[in-house]
């Protein structure tokens, strides 16, 4: 069963370069990020054709800046290294599913 994998700034490019990858930009102190975490864990366990990873913006500030993350949580979908969609803030599980399945 897959889980949401924490990814460092140095691993980011490698982890998002192939396939479908949903990146959760978050911070440990962020209440809305904590609300969405169980949903992302559930989806990570369910999807076999997509991976879900998370990036702590407090540890990867430069990466967050490069990815234009202005508020959290920000979910960015990558397909073979290219941004394919983005959700900012807390969204219903179905909206996240729709983003992954686009």
Active site positions, annotated: 30, 33
Q: Are 81 and 17 in contact (CB under 8 A)?
A: yes
What gap in Å lies between CA 6 and CA 8, rounded to an integer?
7
C-alpha distance from residue 78 to each of 15, 33, 45 (Å): 10, 20, 18
Q: Select from 22, 29, 30, 44 the least CA-distant residue to 73.
A: 30
């Amino acid at each position: 069963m897959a889980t949401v994998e924490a990814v460092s700034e140095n691993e980011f490019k490698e982890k998002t370069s192939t396939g479908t990858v949903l990146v959760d930009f978050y911070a440990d102190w962020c209440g809305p990020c904590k609300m969405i975490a169980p949903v992302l864990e559930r989806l990570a366990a369910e999807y076999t054709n997509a991976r879900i990873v998370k990036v702590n913006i407090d540890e990867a500030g430069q990466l967050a800046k490069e990815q234009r993350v202005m508020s959290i949580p920000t979910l960015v979908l990558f397909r073979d290294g290219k941004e394919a969609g983005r959700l900012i803030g807390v969204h219903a599980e179905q909206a996240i599913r729709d983003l992954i399945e686009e």
